With several copies, the nearest count.
Chain A
Protein backbone atom coordinates (compact mmCIF):
# COMPACT_ATOMS: atom_id res chain seq x y z
CA UNK A 1 0.00 0.00 0.00
CA UNK A 2 1.26 3.46 -0.87
CA UNK A 3 0.66 6.41 1.46
CA UNK A 4 0.49 9.91 -0.01
CA UNK A 5 0.61 12.99 2.18
CA UNK A 6 -2.41 15.00 0.88
CA UNK A 7 -5.96 14.32 -0.31
CA UNK A 8 -6.57 14.47 -4.06
CA UNK A 9 -8.16 17.40 -5.81
CA UNK A 10 -10.85 16.64 -8.36
CA UNK A 11 -8.35 17.07 -11.17
CA UNK A 12 -5.82 14.79 -9.50
CA UNK A 13 -8.52 12.18 -8.97
CA UNK A 14 -9.46 12.28 -12.65
CA UNK A 15 -5.78 11.95 -13.57
CA UNK A 16 -5.40 8.98 -11.22
CA UNK A 17 -8.36 7.14 -12.78
CA UNK A 18 -7.02 7.92 -16.26
CA UNK A 19 -3.66 6.43 -15.26
CA UNK A 20 -5.31 3.17 -14.24
CA UNK A 21 -7.28 2.65 -17.46
CA UNK A 22 -5.38 0.00 -19.43
CA UNK A 23 -4.06 1.03 -22.87
CA UNK A 24 -6.28 0.10 -25.85
CA UNK A 25 -9.32 -0.52 -23.68
CA UNK A 26 -12.91 0.37 -24.56
CA UNK A 27 -14.27 2.73 -21.95
CA UNK A 28 -17.51 4.48 -21.03
CA UNK A 29 -17.24 7.56 -18.85
CA UNK A 30 -20.47 8.33 -16.98
CA UNK A 31 -21.95 11.80 -17.05
CA UNK A 32 -20.79 14.25 -14.40
CA UNK A 33 -17.37 13.96 -12.77
CA UNK A 34 -16.21 10.86 -14.74
CA UNK A 35 -16.38 12.86 -17.98
CA UNK A 36 -13.28 14.75 -16.81
CA UNK A 37 -11.21 11.55 -17.01
CA UNK A 38 -11.13 11.97 -20.80
CA UNK A 39 -8.97 15.08 -20.44
CA UNK A 40 -6.20 13.01 -18.86
CA UNK A 41 -6.08 10.02 -21.20
CA UNK A 42 -2.89 9.86 -23.21
CA UNK A 43 -3.94 9.65 -26.89
CA UNK A 44 -0.97 7.36 -27.51
CA UNK A 45 -2.56 4.76 -25.20
CA UNK A 46 -5.32 4.07 -27.72
CA UNK A 47 -8.25 4.11 -25.30
CA UNK A 48 -11.52 4.11 -27.29
CA UNK A 49 -14.45 5.97 -25.74
CA UNK A 50 -18.00 4.66 -25.99
CA UNK A 51 -21.06 6.85 -25.56
CA UNK A 52 -24.28 4.98 -24.90
CA UNK A 53 -26.30 7.05 -27.33
CA UNK A 54 -24.64 5.10 -30.11
CA UNK A 55 -20.97 5.70 -30.84
CA UNK A 56 -17.50 4.28 -30.40
CA UNK A 57 -14.49 6.50 -31.01
CA UNK A 58 -15.84 9.64 -29.38
CA UNK A 59 -13.42 12.57 -29.37
CA UNK A 60 -13.13 15.68 -27.19
CA UNK A 61 -15.91 18.22 -26.72
CA UNK A 62 -16.74 20.24 -29.81
CA UNK A 63 -16.31 23.97 -29.90
CA UNK A 64 -17.24 26.70 -32.36
CA UNK A 65 -17.54 25.46 -35.90
CA UNK A 66 -17.05 21.85 -34.82
CA UNK A 67 -20.40 21.79 -33.02
CA UNK A 68 -22.79 19.43 -34.82
CA UNK A 69 -26.32 19.01 -33.41
CA UNK A 70 -26.27 15.37 -34.59
CA UNK A 71 -23.10 14.56 -32.67
CA UNK A 72 -23.72 14.52 -28.92
CA UNK A 73 -22.48 12.52 -25.95
CA UNK A 74 -24.63 10.89 -23.27
CA UNK A 75 -24.80 14.20 -21.46
CA UNK A 76 -26.17 15.77 -24.66
CA UNK A 77 -23.08 17.93 -25.07
CA UNK A 78 -21.58 18.37 -28.56
CA UNK A 79 -18.53 16.17 -29.08
CA UNK A 80 -16.25 15.20 -31.96
CA UNK A 81 -15.51 12.02 -33.87
CA UNK A 82 -12.10 10.35 -33.99
CA UNK A 83 -10.73 8.28 -36.89
CA UNK A 84 -11.94 4.68 -36.54
CA UNK A 85 -15.28 5.73 -35.04
CA UNK A 86 -18.55 3.91 -35.66
CA UNK A 87 -22.24 4.67 -35.08
CA UNK A 88 -25.00 2.26 -34.09
CA UNK A 89 -28.52 2.32 -32.73
CA UNK A 90 -29.58 2.27 -29.10
CA UNK A 91 -30.34 -1.44 -28.95
CA UNK A 92 -26.90 -2.24 -30.32
CA UNK A 93 -25.23 0.25 -28.02
CA UNK A 94 -26.80 -1.25 -24.91
CA UNK A 95 -26.24 -4.79 -26.21
CA UNK A 96 -22.56 -3.83 -26.30
CA UNK A 97 -22.74 -2.61 -22.71
CA UNK A 98 -24.91 -5.40 -21.28
CA UNK A 99 -23.00 -8.05 -23.19
CA UNK A 100 -19.79 -7.28 -21.35
CA UNK A 101 -17.81 -5.81 -24.22
CA UNK A 102 -16.68 -2.61 -22.53
CA UNK A 103 -13.49 -3.03 -20.55
CA UNK A 104 -14.12 -0.25 -18.09
CA UNK A 105 -16.82 2.17 -17.13
CA UNK A 106 -16.31 4.99 -14.68
CA UNK A 107 -19.29 6.15 -12.65
CA UNK A 108 -20.05 8.57 -9.89
CA UNK A 109 -21.83 7.27 -6.80
CA UNK A 110 -23.90 8.22 -3.76
CA UNK A 111 -22.77 5.03 -2.02
CA UNK A 112 -20.74 1.89 -2.67
CA UNK A 113 -21.06 -1.13 -0.38
CA UNK A 114 -18.10 -3.29 0.55
CA UNK A 115 -19.40 -6.10 -1.67
CA UNK A 116 -19.44 -3.78 -4.71
CA UNK A 117 -23.13 -2.93 -4.64
CA UNK A 118 -23.63 0.51 -6.14
CA UNK A 119 -26.16 3.27 -5.44
CA UNK A 120 -25.91 6.22 -7.77
CA UNK A 121 -29.26 6.90 -9.41
CA UNK A 122 -31.85 7.96 -6.86
CA UNK A 123 -31.79 9.65 -3.50
CA UNK A 124 -34.94 7.81 -2.53
CA UNK A 125 -36.51 11.07 -1.37
CA UNK A 126 -40.29 10.69 -1.66
CA UNK A 127 -40.75 13.76 -3.88
CA UNK A 128 -37.71 13.10 -6.12
CA UNK A 129 -38.44 12.16 -9.73
CA UNK A 130 -36.68 8.85 -10.39
CA UNK A 131 -34.34 9.02 -13.39
CA UNK A 132 -31.99 6.17 -14.15
CA UNK A 133 -30.71 6.65 -17.71
CA UNK A 134 -28.00 4.14 -18.55
CA UNK A 135 -26.60 3.78 -15.02
CA UNK A 136 -28.01 0.31 -14.35
CA UNK A 137 -26.84 -0.96 -17.74
CA UNK A 138 -23.31 0.31 -17.17
CA UNK A 139 -23.27 -1.15 -13.68
CA UNK A 140 -24.07 -4.67 -14.84
CA UNK A 141 -22.34 -4.49 -18.20
CA UNK A 142 -18.74 -3.36 -18.07
CA UNK A 143 -15.99 -5.85 -17.24
CA UNK A 144 -14.69 -3.40 -14.65
CA UNK A 145 -16.81 -0.77 -12.97
CA UNK A 146 -14.74 2.01 -11.47
CA UNK A 147 -16.40 4.50 -9.15
CA UNK A 148 -14.97 7.95 -8.54
CA UNK A 149 -16.37 9.98 -5.66
CA UNK A 150 -15.44 11.79 -2.50
CA UNK A 151 -15.03 9.33 0.34
CA UNK A 152 -17.32 11.34 2.63
CA UNK A 153 -20.42 13.35 1.85
CA UNK A 154 -20.95 16.98 2.89
CA UNK A 155 -22.18 15.91 6.32
CA UNK A 156 -19.06 13.81 6.84
CA UNK A 157 -20.88 10.49 6.42
CA UNK A 158 -18.87 7.81 4.57
CA UNK A 159 -19.98 6.87 1.05
CA UNK A 160 -18.17 3.53 1.19
CA UNK A 161 -20.59 1.63 3.41
CA UNK A 162 -21.46 -1.75 4.82
CA UNK A 163 -24.84 -1.68 3.09
CA UNK A 164 -26.34 0.92 0.76
CA UNK A 165 -29.17 2.94 2.27
CA UNK A 166 -29.96 4.64 -1.05
CA UNK A 167 -31.84 2.66 -3.74
CA UNK A 168 -29.28 0.45 -5.48
CA UNK A 169 -28.18 0.64 -9.11
CA UNK A 170 -26.58 -2.79 -9.36
CA UNK A 171 -25.58 -5.62 -7.08
CA UNK A 172 -21.91 -6.47 -6.44
CA UNK A 173 -20.76 -4.73 -9.61
CA UNK A 174 -18.06 -2.24 -8.57
CA UNK A 175 -14.45 -3.42 -8.78
CA UNK A 176 -12.61 -0.25 -7.80
CA UNK A 177 -13.45 2.88 -5.85
CA UNK A 178 -11.33 5.97 -6.45
CA UNK A 179 -11.79 8.66 -3.83
CA UNK A 180 -10.03 11.80 -2.73
CA UNK A 181 -8.61 9.95 0.30
CA UNK A 182 -7.96 6.39 -0.85
CA UNK A 183 -8.22 3.84 -3.62
CA UNK A 184 -10.10 0.62 -2.88
CA UNK A 185 -10.08 -2.63 -4.87
CA UNK A 186 -13.20 -4.76 -4.36
CA UNK A 187 -13.41 -8.44 -5.18
CA UNK A 188 -16.84 -9.16 -3.72
CA UNK A 189 -15.46 -10.48 -0.45
CA UNK A 190 -12.74 -8.09 0.59
CA UNK A 191 -12.05 -4.37 0.40
CA UNK A 192 -8.39 -3.86 -0.35
CA UNK A 193 -6.86 -0.43 0.21
CA UNK A 194 -4.11 0.17 -2.35
CA UNK A 195 -3.30 3.86 -1.81
CA UNK A 196 -4.15 6.51 0.74
CA UNK A 197 -4.08 10.28 0.31
CA UNK A 198 -3.71 12.43 3.37
CA UNK A 199 -5.00 9.70 5.66
CA UNK A 200 -3.88 6.38 7.11
CA UNK A 201 -5.23 2.87 7.29
CA UNK A 202 -6.03 3.22 10.96
CA UNK A 203 -7.88 6.48 10.38
CA UNK A 204 -9.83 4.90 7.50
CA UNK A 205 -10.65 1.82 9.56
CA UNK A 206 -11.93 4.05 12.32
CA UNK A 207 -14.16 6.16 10.08
CA UNK A 208 -15.52 3.44 7.75
CA UNK A 209 -17.94 0.73 8.86
CA UNK A 210 -16.36 -1.70 6.36
CA UNK A 211 -13.56 -4.20 7.10
CA UNK A 212 -10.48 -3.08 5.19
CA UNK A 213 -7.37 -4.99 4.23
CA UNK A 214 -4.11 -4.17 2.52
CA UNK A 215 -2.12 -6.28 0.11
CA UNK A 216 0.25 -8.64 1.96
Chain B
Protein backbone atom coordinates (compact mmCIF):
# COMPACT_ATOMS: atom_id res chain seq x y z
CA UNK B 1 0.00 0.00 0.00
CA UNK B 2 1.21 3.46 -0.80
CA UNK B 3 2.13 5.89 1.96
CA UNK B 4 1.38 9.55 1.43
CA UNK B 5 4.36 11.14 3.19
CA UNK B 6 3.90 14.52 4.88
CA UNK B 7 7.25 15.87 3.69
CA UNK B 8 10.29 14.87 1.67
CA UNK B 9 12.44 14.03 4.69
CA UNK B 10 9.85 11.48 5.75
CA UNK B 11 9.58 10.28 2.18
CA UNK B 12 13.29 9.39 1.92
CA UNK B 13 13.74 7.86 5.37
CA UNK B 14 15.46 4.52 5.70
CA UNK B 15 17.64 4.62 2.61
CA UNK B 16 20.77 2.70 3.57
CA UNK B 17 24.35 3.71 2.82
CA UNK B 18 25.60 1.79 -0.20
CA UNK B 19 22.21 1.76 -1.89
CA UNK B 20 21.70 1.77 -5.64
CA UNK B 21 19.38 4.67 -6.38
CA UNK B 22 17.53 5.19 -9.66
CA UNK B 23 16.87 8.89 -10.20
CA UNK B 24 14.35 9.89 -12.86
CA UNK B 25 14.47 12.83 -15.20
CA UNK B 26 15.88 13.80 -18.55
CA UNK B 27 17.31 17.21 -17.97
CA UNK B 28 14.98 19.15 -15.68
CA UNK B 29 11.87 17.37 -17.01
CA UNK B 30 10.86 14.68 -14.57
CA UNK B 31 13.84 15.28 -12.29
CA UNK B 32 12.73 14.77 -8.66
CA UNK B 33 14.55 17.82 -7.30
CA UNK B 34 12.84 17.81 -3.90
CA UNK B 35 13.58 14.14 -3.21
CA UNK B 36 17.19 14.54 -4.35
CA UNK B 37 17.56 17.53 -2.03
CA UNK B 38 16.13 15.51 0.84
CA UNK B 39 18.53 12.63 0.17
CA UNK B 40 21.36 15.17 0.18
CA UNK B 41 20.21 16.65 3.51
CA UNK B 42 19.95 13.19 5.08
CA UNK B 43 23.52 12.60 3.92
CA UNK B 44 23.29 8.91 3.02
CA UNK B 45 26.63 7.96 1.48
CA UNK B 46 28.38 5.40 -0.71
CA UNK B 47 25.53 5.55 -3.21
CA UNK B 48 25.40 4.20 -6.75
CA UNK B 49 23.20 6.53 -8.76
CA UNK B 50 21.53 5.70 -12.07
CA UNK B 51 20.38 8.63 -14.20
CA UNK B 52 20.59 9.52 -17.85
CA UNK B 53 23.13 12.26 -17.10
CA UNK B 54 25.66 13.16 -14.44
CA UNK B 55 24.06 16.33 -13.18
CA UNK B 56 23.74 19.81 -14.63
CA UNK B 57 24.66 23.13 -13.08
CA UNK B 58 24.77 23.08 -9.31
CA UNK B 59 21.28 21.92 -8.31
CA UNK B 60 19.48 18.58 -8.17
CA UNK B 61 21.68 15.61 -8.99
CA UNK B 62 24.75 17.87 -9.38
CA UNK B 63 24.32 19.12 -5.79
CA UNK B 64 24.05 15.51 -4.56
CA UNK B 65 27.28 14.63 -6.37
CA UNK B 66 29.01 17.68 -4.92
CA UNK B 67 28.60 16.37 -1.35
CA UNK B 68 30.60 13.22 -2.15
CA UNK B 69 27.69 10.94 -1.25
CA UNK B 70 27.82 9.23 -4.63
CA UNK B 71 30.48 6.57 -5.13
CA UNK B 72 29.48 5.57 -8.66
CA UNK B 73 27.22 6.81 -11.40
CA UNK B 74 25.67 4.75 -14.22
CA UNK B 75 24.48 6.98 -17.05
CA UNK B 76 24.46 7.46 -20.80
CA UNK B 77 25.62 11.05 -21.17
CA UNK B 78 27.83 12.51 -18.43
CA UNK B 79 29.51 15.12 -20.64
CA UNK B 80 27.28 18.16 -20.90
CA UNK B 81 28.27 21.74 -21.11
CA UNK B 82 27.32 22.38 -17.48
CA UNK B 83 28.29 19.07 -15.89
CA UNK B 84 31.22 20.73 -14.14
CA UNK B 85 30.52 19.15 -10.76
CA UNK B 86 30.80 15.65 -12.17
CA UNK B 87 33.78 16.55 -14.35
CA UNK B 88 35.79 17.76 -11.40
CA UNK B 89 34.98 14.68 -9.31
CA UNK B 90 35.82 12.43 -12.24
CA UNK B 91 39.10 14.19 -12.98
CA UNK B 92 40.08 13.78 -9.33
CA UNK B 93 39.17 10.08 -9.37
CA UNK B 94 36.54 10.62 -6.70
CA UNK B 95 33.65 9.05 -8.61
CA UNK B 96 33.32 5.88 -10.63
CA UNK B 97 31.60 6.04 -14.04
CA UNK B 98 29.76 3.38 -16.05
CA UNK B 99 28.56 4.62 -19.42
CA UNK B 100 25.74 2.75 -21.18
CA UNK B 101 23.96 3.50 -24.43
CA UNK B 102 20.73 5.24 -23.46
CA UNK B 103 18.47 2.53 -24.85
CA UNK B 104 20.41 -0.23 -23.10
CA UNK B 105 20.23 1.78 -19.89
CA UNK B 106 16.44 2.04 -20.26
CA UNK B 107 16.03 -1.60 -21.27
CA UNK B 108 18.22 -2.82 -18.38
CA UNK B 109 16.03 -0.89 -15.94
CA UNK B 110 12.90 -2.25 -17.61
CA UNK B 111 14.35 -5.79 -17.48
CA UNK B 112 14.91 -5.50 -13.73
CA UNK B 113 11.29 -4.56 -13.20
CA UNK B 114 10.04 -7.20 -15.61
CA UNK B 115 11.98 -10.15 -14.18
CA UNK B 116 14.08 -10.66 -17.32
CA UNK B 117 17.43 -12.24 -16.47
CA UNK B 118 19.38 -10.76 -19.38
CA UNK B 119 18.81 -9.79 -23.00
CA UNK B 120 20.65 -9.60 -26.29
CA UNK B 121 20.63 -6.15 -27.86
CA UNK B 122 22.18 -4.97 -31.13
CA UNK B 123 22.91 -1.56 -29.60
CA UNK B 124 26.57 -1.12 -28.86
CA UNK B 125 27.62 -4.42 -30.44
CA UNK B 126 31.13 -4.17 -31.83
CA UNK B 127 31.88 -0.96 -29.93
CA UNK B 128 34.06 -0.03 -26.96
CA UNK B 129 30.98 -0.21 -24.72
CA UNK B 130 30.59 -3.92 -25.50
CA UNK B 131 34.13 -4.83 -24.51
CA UNK B 132 34.21 -7.67 -22.01
CA UNK B 133 30.56 -8.47 -22.61
CA UNK B 134 29.17 -11.63 -24.16
CA UNK B 135 28.46 -11.26 -27.85
CA UNK B 136 26.35 -13.36 -30.16
CA UNK B 137 25.24 -13.18 -33.77
CA UNK B 138 21.47 -13.64 -33.99
CA UNK B 139 19.78 -13.69 -37.42
CA UNK B 140 23.02 -12.46 -38.98
CA UNK B 141 23.24 -9.45 -36.69
CA UNK B 142 25.76 -8.77 -33.92
CA UNK B 143 24.27 -8.55 -30.42
CA UNK B 144 25.64 -7.99 -26.94
CA UNK B 145 24.27 -9.50 -23.71
CA UNK B 146 23.11 -6.94 -21.16
CA UNK B 147 21.98 -7.53 -17.58
CA UNK B 148 19.24 -5.83 -15.57
CA UNK B 149 19.90 -2.94 -13.20
CA UNK B 150 18.15 -3.80 -9.96
CA UNK B 151 17.93 -0.98 -7.46
CA UNK B 152 17.22 -0.46 -3.80
CA UNK B 153 15.45 2.84 -4.30
CA UNK B 154 13.85 4.81 -7.13
CA UNK B 155 13.28 8.54 -6.81
CA UNK B 156 10.95 9.79 -9.51
CA UNK B 157 8.77 12.74 -10.34
CA UNK B 158 5.23 12.35 -11.69
CA UNK B 159 2.47 14.89 -12.18
CA UNK B 160 -0.51 13.49 -10.27
CA UNK B 161 -0.94 10.55 -7.92
CA UNK B 162 -4.12 9.08 -6.52
CA UNK B 163 -4.37 7.69 -3.01
CA UNK B 164 -3.77 4.19 -4.39
CA UNK B 165 -0.38 5.30 -5.74
CA UNK B 166 -1.41 5.32 -9.39
CA UNK B 167 0.62 7.88 -11.30
CA UNK B 168 0.25 9.99 -14.41
CA UNK B 169 3.06 12.08 -15.84
CA UNK B 170 3.22 15.22 -17.92
CA UNK B 171 4.69 15.42 -21.46
CA UNK B 172 8.39 14.50 -21.72
CA UNK B 173 8.60 14.54 -17.93
CA UNK B 174 7.51 10.91 -18.21
CA UNK B 175 10.87 9.60 -19.55
CA UNK B 176 12.50 7.21 -17.04
CA UNK B 177 9.82 7.43 -14.33
CA UNK B 178 7.58 4.54 -15.37
CA UNK B 179 10.43 2.03 -15.77
CA UNK B 180 12.39 3.14 -12.70
CA UNK B 181 9.24 2.74 -10.61
CA UNK B 182 9.24 -0.97 -11.50
CA UNK B 183 12.92 -1.70 -10.84
CA UNK B 184 13.47 -0.71 -7.21
CA UNK B 185 12.52 -2.34 -3.92
CA UNK B 186 11.41 1.09 -2.67
CA UNK B 187 9.85 3.57 -5.09
CA UNK B 188 9.27 7.15 -3.97
CA UNK B 189 7.44 9.64 -6.17
CA UNK B 190 7.15 13.39 -5.82
CA UNK B 191 4.04 14.84 -7.42
CA UNK B 192 2.24 18.14 -7.73
CA UNK B 193 -0.94 16.74 -6.16
CA UNK B 194 -2.65 13.66 -4.75
CA UNK B 195 -6.25 13.04 -5.72
CA UNK B 196 -8.80 10.64 -4.19
CA UNK B 197 -9.04 7.08 -5.46
CA UNK B 198 -11.40 6.92 -8.41
CA UNK B 199 -10.37 10.34 -9.79
CA UNK B 200 -7.84 9.09 -12.35
CA UNK B 201 -9.23 7.36 -15.43
CA UNK B 202 -8.08 3.69 -15.21
CA UNK B 203 -7.36 3.78 -18.97
CA UNK B 204 -4.81 6.57 -18.56
CA UNK B 205 -2.86 5.45 -15.51
CA UNK B 206 0.77 5.13 -16.61
CA UNK B 207 2.31 3.70 -13.43
CA UNK B 208 -0.08 1.42 -11.51
CA UNK B 209 0.06 1.86 -7.74
CA UNK B 210 1.56 -1.60 -7.28
CA UNK B 211 4.93 -0.09 -8.18
CA UNK B 212 4.76 2.89 -5.81
CA UNK B 213 5.61 2.78 -2.11
CA UNK B 214 5.63 6.44 -1.07
CA UNK B 215 4.26 9.64 -2.54
CA UNK B 216 4.99 13.17 -1.44
CA UNK B 217 3.51 16.41 -2.71
CA UNK B 218 6.08 19.07 -3.60
CA UNK B 219 5.78 22.53 -5.02
Residue of chain A at shortest CB distance from B177:
A89
B126 interface residue (CB < 8 Å to A): yes
A79 to chain B, nearest CB (A): 8
**Option from B129, B142, B208 in Cβ contact (under 8 Å) with A56:** B208
Residue of chain A at shortest CB distance from B31:
A69
A10 to chain B, nearest CB (A): 20
A49-60: CB near B (< 8 Å → 1, else 0) gives: 011111111000
**Option from B123, B164, B172 in Cβ contact (under 8 Å) with A140:** B123
Binds A, one of B13-21, B40-48, B60-68, B102-110: B102-110
Residue picked from A48, A50, A90, A127, most chain B C-beta under 10 Å = A90
A188 interface residue (CB < 8 Å to B): no
B104-138: CB near A (< 8 Å → 1, else 0) gives: 10110110111110000111111111000000000
- CB contacts (< 8 Å) of A133 on chain B: these are 76-77, 101-102
B117 to chain A, nearest CB (A): 10
**Option from B1, B27, B91, B99 in Cβ contact (under 8 Å) with A24:** B1
- CB contacts (< 8 Å) of B176 on chain A: these are 89-90
| In contact, A91 and B29 (Cβ under 8 angstroms) | no
| Bound Cα distance from A32 to B203, whole angstroms | 28
Residue picked from A46, A50, A53, most chain B C-beta under 10 Å = A53
A36 interface residue (CB < 8 Å to B): no
Residue of chain A at shortest CB distance from B159:
A70
| In contact, A131 and B208 (Cβ under 8 angstroms) | no
Binds B, one of A154-162, A168-176, A198-206, A208-216: A168-176
Cross-chain pair count, CB within 8 angstroms: 201
B91 to chain A, nearest CB (A): 8
- CB contacts (< 8 Å) of B198 on chain A: these are 83-84
Residue of chain A at shortest CB distance from B106:
A90
B42 to chain A, nearest CB (A): 26
Residue picked from A81, A85, A97, most chain B C-beta under 10 Å = A85
| In contact, A72 and B164 (Cβ under 8 angstroms) | no
| In contact, A94 and B103 (Cβ under 8 angstroms) | yes
Say whether, besides A71-B29, A89-B176, A52 and B1 are in contact (CB < 8 Å).
no
Say whether, besides A71-B29, A76-B27, A91-B107, A86 and B205 are in contact (CB < 8 Å).
yes
B32 interface residue (CB < 8 Å to A): no
| In contact, A70 and B173 (Cβ under 8 angstroms) | yes
- Contacts A46-B1, A102-B210 known; list 13 others, CB within 8 Å: A51-B172, A53-B26, A68-B171, A70-B173, A72-B27, A89-B176, A91-B179, A101-B210, A129-B97, A130-B128, A136-B129, A167-B128, A168-B126
Binding site for A on B (CB under 8 A): 1, 26-30, 52, 76-80, 87, 90-91, 97, 99-104, 106-107, 109-110, 112-116, 121-129, 142, 159, 162-164, 166, 169-179, 182, 197-198, 202-203, 205-206, 208-211
For this complex, 8 residue pairs linking A to B, each with C-beta atoms less than 8 Å apart, are A53-B27, A70-B29, A76-B28, A88-B174, A98-B107, A101-B182, A129-B79, A130-B99
